Amino acid sequence: MLQRIQSLYMLASAIVTGVLPFVFELWTEKSGKVVFFTDVQLAIILFISVSGLTFINIFNFKDRQRQFVLNRLNMIFNFILLGFFVYRSLNLSGGTFVSEKGIGMFLPAISIVLLVLANKAIKRDEDLVKSVDRLR
């Protein structure tokens, strides 16, 4: 059901990780070259997997427990992506590789916040269903 608040949070997360990387750059190198997520192979794989898992998870509304677990898995993928960006921006080879960070590096953090909000709403729905079952 798309009218539930957790579905809206997950849809927003899918948009943040599926559409916005095409718009915002990840970083600018010292040479002045702007790097988008399509220039980095690992970023392509992780952004596609995160947005795909989120989009598929929207339609698991009948199984709230599975939805909760898949959101947790999606958060782990987002943390891996965020860790990759932090490692890439703090490259260990002498000088700085990344001279200017773009907004695209912070998209996984926004997605994590939206997925946490979706999990809170899923938990609230699950508690509501359990309380109604207890009254019968």
Burial of 40 (0-12, 13-18, 19+ CB in 10 A): middle
* Segment 50-71, tens digit of pLDDT: 999 999 999 988 888 999 999 9
Other C-beta atoms within 10 Å of 13: how many? 32
Number of domains within the chain: 1
- Alpha-carbon span 62 to 67, nearest angstrom: 9
pLDDT value of position 103: 81
Asked if 25 and 34 touch (Cβ cutoff 8 Å), the reply is yes
Which pLDDT score, from 0 to 100, does residue 96 have? 56
User: Would you say residue 17 lies in a domain?
Assistant: yes
**Residue 111 pLDDT more than 60?**
yes
Does residue 79 lie within any of the structural domains? yes
Residue 88 located in a structural domain: yes
Question: Would 122 be classed as within a structural domain?
Answer: yes
Give the tens place of pLDDT for each residue, 71-86. Answer: 999 999 999 999 988 8
Does residue 30 surpass a pLDDT of 60? yes
Residue 136 has pLDDT above 70, yes or no: no
Q: Is residue 74 part of a domain?
A: yes
What local confidence, expressed as pLDDT, does residue 94 receive? 44
Is 113 part of any domain? yes
Report CA 113 to chain centroid distance, whole Å.
8
The whole-model pTM stands at 0.85
The whole domain housing 97 covers 5-131
Query: What pLDDT, on a 0 to 100 scale, did the predictor assign at position 92?
Result: 47
Residue 136 lies in a domain: no
pLDDT at residue 1 is higher than 90:
no
Per-residue pLDDT at 125 exceeds 70 = yes
